[in-house]
Amino acid sequence: MTNTAHPVLCGGTFLIQILESKRITATRRQRTQSVSDTIHEQDVLLGLVQIVQPDYIKPAGDTFKTYTTYFKRCVENTPQDLQFADEAVVSTFLSRLESDYAGVLNEMTGFVNNFIEVGTTRQKDIKLARRLIGLIVNDAGTPNIPDDYRFVISKDGSSVVKSELMTVPNIYLPAFLLSIWKFIVTERKENSLGATTVAAWSAPNVQGRYSVPESLPTPEDFFVDCGTYVAPVLPVVDTEFSEELTPANVQRLIMPDVYTYLRNAEEKYSTMKTLLYNDQPKKFYSFYVCNRIRFRGPDSKVEGQPTYPPNMQFIDDATIENIRKVSRFAIIIGTGGLGKSMMMRHLMLNAIANFDDLKCFPVFVPLKDFDETADSLFEYVYSKIGVFDDGLSKEQFELMLTHGLCLLLLDGLDEINAGSVKRFERELEVLTDKYSGNMFILSSRPFQSFVSYDRFSLLRLMPFNPRQAMQLVDRLEFRPDEPAIKVKFLVALEKTLFRTHRSFTENPLLLTIMLLTFEQYAEVPLKMHVFYREAFEVLAKRHDASKGAYKRALRTGLSVDAFADYFAELCFRSYNDEKFEMTAEEFDGYFNQLNSRSVANDKKTTAGDFREDLCSNLCLMYVEGNSYHFTHRSFQEYFCALFFSKQKDKFIAKLGDFFEKHQRRMFGDRTFYMLYDMVTEKVEEYIFTPFLTTLFGECEEADGYWTFLEAMYPQITYSSEDEYRFSRRVAEPRSFLLSAIL
């Protein structure tokens, strides 16, 4: 093929050729949905620069992105540090090649594995090597590449002169790229020499950008080896010399592994299934609306007087950077359905998107599985990294923690089994004390005072305002075959529902269920249990939007009422065991114990069919990995309350002890309150009255009111310095039942 572009090998043209073979992280379907790749052009250039200058720190913000554009276009204003004008930098690079060639080659191997598509049927690695040979052989730079200049083509350092490149049958790509990069850094520093070439390549219908000399062996006879990156064995940090391992150096050592992890983590967290989108995942940011966050700012104190009202401030746009300005230790608190886990997912994606600027390695850690089987909190957190990249060693992770390079997002403090809470608190204290330079963000329902988390600032997740509620509904894809339904719902929100059902419209989950039930009922009930009952009825009868009025049949063949009875008992059994997700084996175990199934003499319905209906037809649960999850915990709470409400009086009389036993998780849990609304008289007769009778009897037999205080309020906390922080919980009794009565 005739090369009409007068090619010149320089930094910019070299980068362009590499970018043509860049690894694509987004799938074809994701690209049609405008999901961008996680590998950006500036990441590739940064990788090349850090091979020459390992401690190079890229400028903040979008500056380096602009530099990359200049470099790729070979324009005159390419920064001097990207033209390697500093002779000391170049000299150090050459010394490293001389003294530690294997180490530098390993870094280039990591670069190839990280950024270039290798070993696929598209043969991008082979095409890259052949194009670069063509660029070298046809180089028209001034001066030309000398005929006797040698390029390394094998792992052992063997090299050939320029003309011999035409006949080589195989190439070790990392060594070849390293030798080309060395030539550019030392012999072809003037990047603007390639401007004419880049301009010609950019013109339409101009040959040369992908040209390969005709005398080269065919791709079938040409082999390219890309090697395997070997993570360096990191030195043990001696405290006497620990300052030599700067955060920048630590980040450079682990960079190849970090980007693999980030890509895989972003792929998982950038899409998700929801109550409306249970068939296939949707792009997270296609429907997510970010809550505001409230926190207490610095007070203007008057000596000897408490500050009132407190200085409450808000974060309107929650990002890692904005939260870090408040505190590196934060607990995000919100009631069920308000969006805590969604916020944590958003913060994870925000940290990934801004990794190069934040220099913060994010780990998303669901806490629901933390129990006595975990060796330690450190080991538990590290296990979540291996899901996305098992090549990142424990030593590397510990080194990042030591140098304050990590963000730990610990989701669901309230979901930890009651027997493991104290251990978690102890281990969290150890972890935060030992690695205090990192950022720790927890999320939780307001199930306790959090006084024991004295290092952490409390951030309150705010309910939706009307604008946010309208924005969420507008973004949700609901009944595209009947758009008028959503329009009517938006009108109803604006006219009446914001006023009459404020607690529903402020909650993203409840707002979504309102939309789901609006088509059938048009009105929204005031009672929460009626609201969930109607939601279940709609889910059980829901139309398939792609099939008009066609209604899916339940695979089990059960009636809606029978299905509800089965599921209610299963929810009770799992709720009692504090199971918020189940393996298939655990699910089957609960299903096979169902008394309601035995009473119905049902030998036909299988656990597999029941799971299929829950996940595919009713959307009350979903499967992820090897576990079955409730679409939201509030469904488990409703059906558990439904199960309680249908039991005999003797059973209900025992529920007082049940709720007292589980009182830690009752704050923010709706189970008891929905039960109270369902069977108010029974709860008062068989739970409240016996509880108060026993309590008052014990008080009368002892010291009266003082016994009452000692039993119900054993500790009263007050601080004039931080009155607002404790005022909300200080007057709450130790007993959940008394709290519910009051």
Task: Kindly list the domain boundaries of the chain, sorted by start residue.
Answer: 11-225, 246-461, 466-547
State the pLDDT at residue 220: 60
Which pLDDT does position 31 carry in this prediction? Answer: 46
Rounded CA separation 297/308 (Å): 12
Residue ranges of the chain with per-residue pLDDT less than 70: 1-5, 25-38, 60-61, 77-78, 203-221, 229-257, 278, 299-310, 447-449, 522, 542-553, 663-668, 716-731
CA distance 325 to 65: 25
Q: Which residue has the tokens 């439904």?
A: 642
Closest CA to 369 of 306, 315, 415: 415
- CA-CA-CA-CA dihedral for 245, 250, 253, 254, to nearest 10: 150
Closest CA to 306 of 727, 719, 733: 719
Say if residues 153 and 108 touch (Cβ distance below 8 Å).
no
Residue 278: how many other CB atoms lie within 10 Å: 18
Task: Find out whether 453 and 331 touch, Cβ atoms under 8 Å.
Answer: yes
Distance CA 514, CA 717 (A): 40
| Coil vs helix vs strand at 44 | helix
* pLDDT at residue number 620: 84
Which is nearest to 648 in space by CA: 689, 602, 679, 672?
A: 679
Give the torsion sign (CA, 629, 630, 632, 634): negative
**Distance of CA 249 to CAs 53, 246, 400, Å?**
11, 5, 10
Q: Which pLDDT score is estimated for 399? A: 87
CATH code of the region 246-461: 3.40.50.300
pLDDT reported for residue 634: 84
pLDDT of residue 256: 55
CB contact at 8 A, 507 and 337 = yes
d(CA 596, CA 273) in angstroms, rounded, equals 30
CB 424 within 8 A of CB 378: no
What is the spatial distance between Cα 95 and Cα 598, in angstroms, rounded to a whole number?
79
Comparing CA positions, the residue from 661, 688, 665 lying closest to residue 676 is 688
Nearest CA among 588, 714, 576 for reference residue 657: 576
φ and ψ at 232, to 5 degrees? -65, 150
CA–CA gap between residue 498 and residue 435 (Å, rounded): 45
pLDDT for 28: 53
What residues contact residue 549 under an 8 Å CB cut-off, 6+ apart? 543
How many Cα atoms sit within 13 Å of 409 on the Cβ side? 24
Kindly tell me the sign of the dihedral angle through the C-alpha atoms of 202, 204, 207, 210. Answer: positive
Give the SS3 label for residue 522. Answer: coil
Residue type, 624: E
Pairing of strands 271-272, 282-283: antiparallel
Tell me if residue 152 falls in helix, strand or coil: strand
End-to-end C-alpha distance for the chain, whole angstroms = 87
Which residues share a beta bridge with 459?
A: 332
Look up residue 332 and give its two tokens. 């995000």
User: Helices (DSSP H) in 270-390: which residue ranges?
Assistant: 320-326, 340-353, 355-358, 377-386
pLDDT at 232: 54
- Go through 581-618 and write b for each residue having 16 or more CB atoms within 10 A of its CB, e for each that does not: bbeeeebbebbeebebbeeeeeeebebeebbbbbbbbb
User: Is pTM beyond 0.85 here?
Assistant: no
